[in-house]
Structures are given as C-alpha cells and as structure tokens.
Amino acid sequence: MPGHVALVGPTASGKSALALGLARSRPGIEIVSVDSMSVYRGMDVGTAKPPPAARAEVPHHLVDLADPSEEFTVRRFQAEARSAITGIEARGRRALLVGGTGLYLRAVVDDLELPGRYPEVAATLEAEADGPGGLASLFERLVALDPVAAGRTTPSNRRRIVRALEVTIGSGRLFSSFGPGLEAYPPADVVLVGIPFVAEIHDPRIEARFRELVAAGLVDEVRALAARPGGMSRTARQALGYREVLAHLEDGVPLGEALEEAVRRTKAFARRQWAWFRRDPRIRWLDPRGDLPAQLAAAWDEPGAPPGGGAGGRCGHAVAGAVGDLRHG
C-alpha cells in the first residue's frame, strides 16, 4: 500500500479528530476506519463514530458495514479494507488508516492469511478440553499433528491449542502453514505512526468521554438496539460501554455501577492496546505532549521520516507502559 499512512493508538487518544484535521488540511486523503465496533450501523454514540457531517466532508470507509445482529469477522474486515483501498488508489488518492483494533490493522497491513472457522470441530475440542486431562491430551495431539504450531504455544494455553487443532483438523491443512502469525513483523508498505499511552493523559480522557457519551444518549441508543428484531450479536454486545449498559437495562445493575465498570474496563483495554502496539517495531511514536497535528502532518508529507524528530521513531518524552496481551475474539 505505497504512500498510505496508518495512525494507531489506544482508545480516547484523539486519533479520529487528529485524522480529520489532517484530512481537512491535505487534499486527496480518504480515511479508513480500523475499529471493530464502528462497522456496526446504529452503534454511533458509544463508539464515538465520526458524525455524518464529518463523513460527508471527508470520505470515511469501513463504517456502518453490518447490522448489530451480525457477527462481524476479521476475514470480512480484511476483504472490505482491500476493496476500499483499491478504490482509493484507483482515484489517485491516499488512505489514512485510523483505529485501535490491532488485529484488524495487522490483517490489512501485513495481508495476513486468515484460517477459516470450523465451529463443530471447535465445539468438540472444547468439550474434550473440559474433561480430566483433556487439555494435556489435546496438546499431545497438536505436537503429533503440527509440531511447529505446538512449539509456538505452551501446554497450558487452551485458546491457542484449540484454535490450532480446529484449523488443522477442520481444513486438513497445518495451522503453522498459514505463516508465522502475529509474532513476525515484516516490512510494511504503509507508514505506521502511533500515539503512545500515558496514564495521566488517557485515564482522565476516558472518564470524561463516558460522561459525554451518557449526555449524548448512550443509554437510549443501547436500549433501542437491544429492542430491534434480532437484537445485538454476541460480538456487538461486548463493545465497551454497551455491555455495561445492557447489564443495567437487562439485569438491573444500577446505572452508576454500570458506568463505573465501563470506565474501569475501558482503562484496562487501553493498556492492552498499548501492550499490543508497543511490540511492533515498525511504529514510529508521536510525542503525546507535543504538537500532534504537526507531527502527523510531517509523517504524511514525508512518509519515510520519523515523525516529531524522534530518534529511532520513539517519542522524546518517557511514556508510561503496561503489560499484558491484547485478546481478540
């Protein structure tokens, strides 16, 4: 994807506003959303989706692709993204990919070969794992069938063991044959820039955002979505804020408690996003306390240059980190 730029970072880091500001100042930019929940129609308030006026002013792609009752997959996102970027290139324009869903970004930037899903096989494996010694038995089977995949996990990592066996058994093709997976970071045609996580900056923003979302009608939005024919899919119901408001509406959790839980879960999620992105050596980190619009503009105008003048693509100020892995369903 020559000439394209991706802006990544944790939730509430201001990515969308920053991207829109750049698009207004530079001709030929089309924004490609990389957000697993903005794909759902009607989930507008809780996802802080760009308003219709902004989307009319600057083309936005991969927003409002699916009904909330649908299960949206990484594979579908990858296909939609490829189509959108092909169209942008055909118009002689450049894509600015913006978002915080790390797996979706990797699927596009690294053109991941994504194995299919085999629910019946997975259900059988999960049932076996629940039995006495089941997980150990599954790991032994994986060692026998696909020793390379077994070597990439541990005997206690149930999720990865089951997934590797699901693909190997369901497709008849070794799970490891789909490539090195997320552990490898090959050279990318797209320039990756990011906003680092800094607790004293992001935590207050997350708290303020939820106050704004409630004032903007989050509870009414969730109530209306849940009441629709088909309701909300398992994936859509897990969205930050939506799950907690649904607990209030359906299970009687006091609204104040539900919102406190939403804030807590969002803060934890931001830290997992940071842990995910900071592992990628290709990302050039902006200085979160500096002039972000100017730094992003520099990255856009000179895609090969580290933004903000930071040596090695790292921001000049020390930034707060977090540990843990970003889990993707």
Q: Where are the domains of the chain?
A: 5-113+184-313, 119-178
pLDDT tens-place string over residues 274-306: 999 999 999 999 999 999 999 999 999 985 544
pLDDT recorded at residue 83: 97
Residue 315 pLDDT > 70, yes or no?
no
Q: Which amino acid is at 12?
A: A
> Looking at the domain covering 119-178, what would its CATH class be?
mainly alpha
Q: What percent of the chain has pLDDT over 90?
A: 82
Average pLDDT of the residues of the chain: 89
The answer to whether the CB of 152 falls within 8 A of the CB of 183 is: yes
154: region left, alpha or beta (phi > 0 left; psi from -120 to 50 alpha): beta
pLDDT recorded at residue 305: 44
pLDDT recorded at residue 81: 97
Q: What is the rounded CA–CA span in Å between residue 221 and residue 216?
A: 9
Structure token digits, residue 177: 């044959």
pLDDT recorded at residue 300: 94
Q: What percent of the chain has pLDDT over 70?
A: 91
Burial class (CB in 10 A: 0-12, 13-18, 19+), 76: middle
Provide φ and ψ at 224, rounded to 5°. -65, -40
Residue 313 pLDDT > 90, yes or no?
no
pLDDT recorded at residue 116: 86
pLDDT tens-place string over residues 203-241: 999 999 999 999 999 999 999 999 999 999 999 999 999
> Looking at the domain covering 5-113+184-313, what would its CATH class be?
alpha beta
pLDDT tens-place string over residues 111-155: 888 888 899 999 999 999 999 999 999 999 999 999 999 998 999
Is the pTM higher than 0.85? The answer reads no
* 181 compared with 323, residue with greater pLDDT: 181
pLDDT recorded at residue 303: 57
Domains 5-113+184-313 and 119-178 share a fold: no
Residue 18 pLDDT > 70, yes or no?
yes
Residue 327 pLDDT > 80, yes or no?
no
Q: What is the rounded CA–CA span in Å between residue 307 and residue 193?
A: 8
Cα→Cα distances 2→21, 89, 96, 167, 175, Å: 22, 9, 12, 32, 30
H-run or E-run covering 147: helix 147-151
pLDDT recorded at residue 302: 80
The 3-state secondary structure of 32-71 reads EEECCCCCECCCCCCCCCCCHHHHHHCCEECCCCECCCCC
Residue 1 pLDDT > 60, yes or no?
no
Beta partners for residue 322, in sequence order: none
**What counts of helices (H) and strands (E) characterise the chain?**
14, 6
The answer to whether the CB of 244 falls within 8 A of the CB of 258 is: yes
